[in-house]
Amino acid sequence: MSLSEWILVCSYIPLLVTVAYGFWRYHHFGRELRIFSWFIFLSGFIQFTSLILWLLDQNNLPLLHLYVPLRFILLVWFYQILLTGYLHKRVLHWAAGLLVLFSLFNTLFLQDAFTFNSNALTLESVLMVVLSLSTFSLHLNEWVRTKKKRVLSSLNWINSGIFLYYASNLLLFYFGQSIMHVLPVELSRFSWVLHALFSSVMYVCFFIGLWNHPRN
């Protein structure tokens, strides 16, 4: 196994640790972190299944076509709670519906299930950057900071992880097809090593966020 492949495999360690910790502390979380934990559990199931298929030299891209709309629905649900009173829930419902319908259309007519769904990933990234920035803005409000004082650090770490991941990978997702089919193999592999590193940073932020949740 090459160095880049070892890096890709090792990047799953933060995810594994976060999933395990989420299971352990699940019943101590508030509503918003329980919903967020469902996103963590879904990520663990999809990504480890994807890893197994990759190690078996099987095409794992159909899982990504399924993963994108499902994780977006869970993240929108999470942000709906965080942005209550600041952003009308209908806006989030429309955003979720738009992403799901576009993902389905993209898979059926533009980028089939066995190719990289860069179109859906790009739209998802833009929407998630908007939601995460909206949350940062909300958490600057003094009344909100006082109301959420006990869990604010936890939520900020999680929101930071989401923002860093989607903002960092936006161009990578947008040019995903070109990277896979135009660039030399080594350069293409290096770009996905960068993605793996961004993903690791995100899950480290998630773990710190869950760890910082009040224990009583």
Tens of pLDDT, residues 94-126: 999 999 999 999 999 999 999 989 999 999 999
Q: Which two tokens stand for residue 80?
A: 């709906």
Write out pLDDT tens, residues 59-74: 999 999 999 999 999 9
Find, among 46, 15, 17, 39, the residue nearest to 202 by Cα.
15
> Taking a C-beta distance cutoff of 8 angstroms, is the pair 124, 106 a contact?
no
pLDDT score, position 101: 98
Kindly indicate the confidence band of residue 134, based on its pLDDT and cuts at 50, 70 and 90.
very high
Amino acid at 162: I
Helix, strand or coil, per DSSP, at residue 129:
helix
Average of per-residue pLDDT across 138-145:
82
Query: For residue 55, what pLDDT is reported?
Result: 87
DSSP-derived secondary structure letter, 109: I
Q: Show the beta-strand stretches assigned E in the chain.
A: none
Place of tokens 């929108």: 76
Taking alpha carbons only, the member of 195, 75, 85 closest to residue 131 is: 75
| CA–CA separation, 80 and 115 (whole Å) | 31
Banded model confidence at residue 164, pLDDT cuts 50, 70, 90:
very high
